[in-house]
Structure 1
Amino acid sequence: MIRTGDEYRAGLRDGREVWIDGEKVADVTKHPALKPIIDVKARMYDMAHEEAHRATLSYVEDNQRHSVFYRPPTEQKDWSDKIAAVDAVMKDIGGVVTRVGDETIGEMWSLQDGRDVLAEIDPRFSDNIDHHIRAVIEKDVFHVSANTDPKGDRSRAPQDQDPDLMVHVTRETDAGIVIRGAKYETAAAYADQAYLKPTVGAWANDKLSDYAVGCIVKMGAPGVRHICRAGFAGRGDPADYPLANKFDEVEALVVFDDVLIPWEDVFFYRHTKAAQFVRSTLHRYSAFPYVLRLLYVADMMIGTAMWNAKQTGLDKLQSVREKLADLVCYREGINAHLTASIAMAERSPGGLLMPQQSMLYAGRVFGCSNLPNMMHIARELCGGQICVTPNAAAFNSPGTSGWLNKFYTLNEEWEAEDRRKLLAFGRDLLNSDYAGHRLTFVQFAQAPHFNHLAAVYNSFDFSGPLDFVRKAADLSDKVTGRPQ
């Protein structure tokens, strides 16, 4: 059954240990740094119950209503339904959120695709995968993903330094395994559970390793401690920082201090072959909703730059139109990769319909690697006023409002307040601390750029270009190699 926003909030009051700015949080749903983004997620739950959005955000199976976001894709319509659901949410909340569950459930589908491989390694855990995918659907939990460890000195093996710098199994019990370590994780403090998986590391060369573990961790479980970074919400007037005060997705260093993982929540452990398999297939589904978010980031940049050009009358200049066209090409490039990946979708080993892999991964590289340059183009189009305009308080102060209204009123159509609002939005989108944080987040949220390129290399079918050149260059028929 789909949950309501209040049911989601109630689930977060489970005694979880959350710290932010050196203070232990009594109730995450009320803390000023966490409440805004929790309210956004709660709004998503409530939308699914409303007549205007129910058909877009949910589906019925066995007389039960479930979230479209968590429905395993078996046909192209499932993907178009997910796109429509994301569109409805983004337009309703008026911004972009990344970690809300639909981009992490795909990692579980990838795990299910490999259940036979994992069963060959250790048959005890393969049924757990199916159980948890069903549980996410039926309980409508907020499911996130834990990936990056602190790691420590990268030139040394985990065993040669503090072993807790990477998550590892310390012992087995009749009830399950016990883990120690830490992971950096977005949205953990206000999620229900996380899929904890191994990071990329040199230990993967070992046949067996206590660091090769994959499991579900309940975010309120004993021994789980969330140490959050400082939030952007509440730092300034929402009138000056409209995005940071509503859409900051707070990350945390999640510490696992001898956390018991019940056997039914374990997918694999100690087997590096399983870890390597998981790392190679992890994003075959989740990259799609992740890249889809960049489409809306591009729309915000285009809209901000175009409104600025219209306000100032510069939309008639060819040089301005050319830069706007650059932003449009970026946006449509993302759209083209996503559209093509679904049009050319492939059947996965587990029977699901996954986006065409090399097209999807190439789209991720295109969207992420070009974002910094596109943000700079948008800054140019907005001009220097986004970094020098006074805050809203100055526009409302009797001592300064008259002057600011005089100099920020453009014409009969564009008065000072609309001009101030647009410039504040542009600053928060492109120039603020929050904007810089989001840019860095995009570059690493689904692994670093070299890993993105490796995914493209490993998913692309080189046989076509190789065969084309073999024939064009009249190479020997014995030349049939694929990249190693």
Structure 2
Amino acid sequence: MIRTGEQYRDSIRDGRQVWINGERVNDVTTHPMFKPIVDIRARIYDMAHEKATQGVMSYVDETTGERNAIGLKLPYTQQDWHDKRLAVDIVLDDIGGIATRVGDETIGEMWSLYDGKDVLNEVDPRFAENIERHIHRTLHEDPFHVSANTDPKGDRSKPPQEQDPDMLLHVVKETDAGIVVRGAKYETAAAYANQAFVKPTIANWGDAKLSDYAVGFIVNMSAPGLKFICRTGFAGRANPEDYPLSNRCDEIDTLLIFDNVLIPWEDVLFYQHTKAATFIRATLHRYSAFAFVQRNLRLADLMIGAALFNARQTGLEKQQAVQEKLSTLAVYRETINAHLTASIACGERSPAGLMMPNQSLLYTGRVQACSRLHEMMHLARELCGGQICVTPDAASFANPEISDWLDKYYTVNENWVSDDRRKLLAFARDLLNSDYAGHRLTFQLFAQSPPFAHLGAVFRNFDFDSTLGYVKKAANLSDRVVQSSAEPRLKRVV
């Protein structure tokens, strides 16, 4: 059943080996750099129990009669996707910021495995049951589930076998109990999660059909041999009055070290076969991309709101040049919205019978959302003006020796007094100019895959056959000139 926030906190007080700023962390639930985001994840759990939000955040399972989290529900209908989208919006409204790695965005990668069961079963039938069992276990036990993806990689001009073998995570030994793995993965939220789906980075395997690097499994974050080495956090560095988002919504990234970690056979999802690993990488984001793109949509909302408030504060919103910039931000936002909405409306049946967002529309929306984000952030900076980078901090506004001067110059009119002006400028600075803002920009660009892979996903999923057929007929071409190599299209739901 769905857990409470306190049950979640108790579950990660397990003695795991976590370091941040070079120091060992005794309790991630209370450490000042972890506590804000742990509290957000706990808040999401609690929202599934509160009367006002329970109906949006959870549903009653027909087979068990128990309440489960809506974000983990297998999607079989278009309404399932509308429900998931609403639940994320409710959470982001509640926390007043963007939190990406909270579980609903990573469970979709497991659904991709579910879709690929038949393919994986053909390659190696040992692990098909593990996939389905873990999906339902996650659904009913409600752990905080993340995913570990990118390796340090080392020298990419060399195959992994020709350098330090630990640069890519790999199997070093098989035992009766399971496989033993070594290496490292980068994973956001790993230090305060319960489990992760660990998957391979596609490497230079050459013509190998079998590889110890082609492995995917579920790892329990309390497993012996795991070490969590985290980047420094943004929370606690400065006054929350000056950096409200940094101190509330920072999601800590981790270098997750696997120092001879035993993975039980029942937690192995695929192993050795490079064909299976390549297949999984190609289909990995068919569901999870939706959640990531939705976060870009809400980030656009924050930028538009901050820019529009600033224009209204300073009386510039009626200028044509300002309206054009605001409209450009609105077009960016609505382009994302249109792709998300259309991907549901034109949904497709997956190989396992799930409702899959229309792949061409979803991946095209991801390209638009990620590739233009830096432009939109700069446009929002222009609209907010130079004061976001020169305004004194909250302590200065509170100092009686100088507060009168700051009140004088930061009070715009009777509606916008200095305190509200300061708060808006501090929020915009943290959203657009801070270390946190720069980190989010890079994170959104690379969180699922690099930009070239975004376009590659569009290429693999766009219906090129229909355009070829249209031109073949319009140009009166013979049948022999059109030899389509495209994969058969999935069944579209009307």
Q: TM-score range by the shorter chain?
A: over 0.9
Whether the 8 Å contact between 1:36 and 1:233 is mirrored in structure 2 is: yes
Aligned-residue offset at 1:87: 1.1
Give the structure 1 partner of residue 305 of structure 2. Answer: 303
Could you tell me which amino acid in structure 2 is paired with residue 54 of structure 1? Q
- Check the 8 A contact 1:462/1:483 in 2, yes or no: no
Q: Distance in 2 between the 1:107 and 1:457 partners? A: 20
List runs of 5+ in structure 2 lacking aligned partners.
Answer: 487-494
Deviations 1:67-104 (A, max 9, x none): 00000000011001101101111111111100000000
Superimposed CA distance per residue, residues 277-325 of structure 1 (whole angstroms, 9 cap, x where no aligned partner): 1001000000001101111000000000000011000011111011000
Match of 1:342 among 337, 341, 344: 344
Conserved? CA contact 1:146–1:194, under 8 Å: yes
Please give the secondary structure, in 2, of the residue aligned with 1:178. strand
CA deviations 1:176-231 (Å, max 9, x no partner) are 00000000000000000000000122126421100000000111110000000000
Deviation track 1:91-133 (CA, whole Å, cap 9, x = no partner) reads: 1111110000000000000001011111111111100001100
**Matched-pair contact (CA < 8 Å) for 2:98–2:299:** yes
Which residue matches 1:218?
A: 220
Q: In 1, Cα distance between the equivalents of 2:187 and 2:207? A: 25
Q: How many residues are paired up?
A: 484
**8 Å contact from structure 2 (residues 174, 180) kept in 1:** yes
Secondary structure at 1:283 match in 2: coil
1:330 aligns with 2:346: no
- 1:314 maps to which residue? 316
Give deviations 1:417-464, integer Å, cap 9, x for gaps: 000000000000000011001000111000100011100000111011
Match of 2:480? Answer: 478
1:461 corresponds to: 463
What does residue 398 of structure 1 align with? 400
User: RMSD value over aligned CA atoms?
Assistant: 0.8
Question: Which amino acid counterpart does residue 19 of structure 1 have in structure 2?
Answer: W
Q: Amino acid of the residue matched to residue 110 of structure 1?
A: S
TM-aligned CA deviation for residue 477 of structure 1: 2.2
**1:122-155 superposed Cα distances (whole Å, 9 cap, x missing partner):** 1111000011001111110000000000000000
The 3-state SS of whatever aligns with 1:203 is coil
Contact 1:5 1:46 in 2 (8 A): yes
The equivalent residue for 1:193 is: 195
Percent identity, aligned pairs only?
65
Contact residue 224 and residue 255 of structure 1 kept, 8 A:
yes
What SS does the aligned partner of 1:110 have?
helix
Q: C-alpha separation between the residues in 2 aligned to 1:232 and 1:482?
A: 51
Question: Pairwise mapping of residues 408-447 of structure 1 onto structure 2 (< 5 A)?
Answer: 408-447=410-449
In 1, Cα distance between equivalents of 2:253 and 2:205: 26
Secondary structure of the 2:414 match is: coil
Q: Which moved more, 1:26-35 or 1:474-483?
A: 474-483
Describe the superposition over 1:9-53 as per-residue Cα deviations: whole angstroms up to 9, x where unpaired.
000011111000110100010111100000000000001100000
Q: CA deviation at 1:271?
A: 0.6
Secondary structure at the residue paired with 1:111? Answer: helix
8 Å CA contact 1:205, 1:272 repeated in 2: no
Counterpart residue number, 2:286: 284
Supply the distance in 1 between the matched residues of 2:265 and 2:464 (Cα, whole angstroms): 42
- Aligned partner of 2:274 among 248, 272, 275: 272
SS in 2 for 1:389: coil
State which of 219, 227, 230 in structure 2 corresponds to 1:228.
230
Could you tell me how far apart the structure 1 residues matched to 2:442 and 2:297 are? 17
Native 8 Å contact 1:228 1:252 kept in 2: yes
* CA distance in structure 1 between the partners assigned to 2:484 and 2:236 by the alignment: 55
After TM superposition, the structure 1 stretch with the greater mean CA deviation from structure 2, 465-474 or 435-444, is 465-474
* Corresponding letter in the other structure for 1:272: T
3-state secondary structure, aligned to 1:314: coil
Q: CA deviation digits over 1:344-403, x for unaligned, max 9?
A: 000000110000001000000000001000001000000000001011011011222111
What residue number does 2:296 align with? 294
- Residues 1:137 and 1:156: Cα distance change in structure 2 (over 3 Å): same
Query: How far 1:473 moved relative to its partner?
Result: 2.2
| Distance in 1 (alpha carbons) for counterparts of 2:398 and 2:202 | 52
Query: Is the 8 Å Cα contact of residues 203 and 209 (structure 1) preserved in structure 2?
Result: yes
Letter in 1 for 2:210: L
Matched residue type, 1:259: V
SS of residue matched to 1:184: strand
Contact 1:70 1:136 (8 Å CA) reproduced: yes
**Cα distance in structure 1, aligned partners of 2:16 and 2:462:** 43
Which amino acid counterpart does residue 193 of structure 2 have in structure 1? A
- Alpha-carbon shift at residue 481 of structure 1 (Å): 2.1
1:237 aligns with 2:239: yes
- 8 Å contact from structure 2 (residues 168, 213) kept in 1: yes
Question: In the aligned structure 1, how far is the partner of 2:86 from the partner of 2:249?
Answer: 21
Contact between 2:58 and 2:67, CA under 8 Å: does it hold in 1? yes
Counterpart residue number, 1:40 = 40
Give 1:381's aligned residue. Answer: 383
Selected match of 2:409 from 387, 407, 424: 407
8 Å CA contact 2:160, 2:203 repeated in 1: no
Which shows bigger deviation, 199-208 or 162-171? 199-208
Please report the TM-score for the alignment, with normalisation by the length of structure 2.
Answer: 0.97
Q: Secondary structure at the match of 1:254?
A: strand
Work out the CA distance in 2 between the residues paired with 1:117 and 1:410.
Answer: 64
CA contact (8 A) 1:185 1:253 kept: yes
Report deviation, 1:483. 4.8
The amino acid across from 2:430 in the alignment is: D
Aligned partner of 1:206 in structure 2 is 208
Q: Which residue of 2 aligns with 1:7?
A: 7
Q: Which amino acid aligns with 1:373?
A: E
CA distance in 1, matches of 2:467, 2:155: 41
Amino acid of the structure 2 residue aligned with 1:5:
G
> Could you list the runs of 5+ residues in structure 1 that have no partner in the other structure?
none
TM-score (norm 1): 0.99
In structure 2, C-alpha distance between the alignment counterparts of 1:160 and 1:478, rounded to whole Å: 46
- Aligned AA (2:449): A
Aligned to 1:451: 453
2:229 aligned counterpart, secondary structure:
strand
Task: Please tell me whether the aligned partners of residues 204 and 276 of structure 1 are also in contact (alpha carbons under 8 angstroms).
Answer: no
CA distance in 1, matches of 2:54, 2:269: 33
The Cα shift of 1:468 comes to 1.3
Whole-Å separation in 2 of the counterparts to 1:445 and 1:202: 22
SS at match of 2:68: strand
The CA distance in 1 between the partners of 2:87 and 2:440, in whole Å, is 23
SS, match of residue 313 in structure 1: coil
CA distance in 1: counterparts of 2:402 and 2:182, whole angstroms: 57
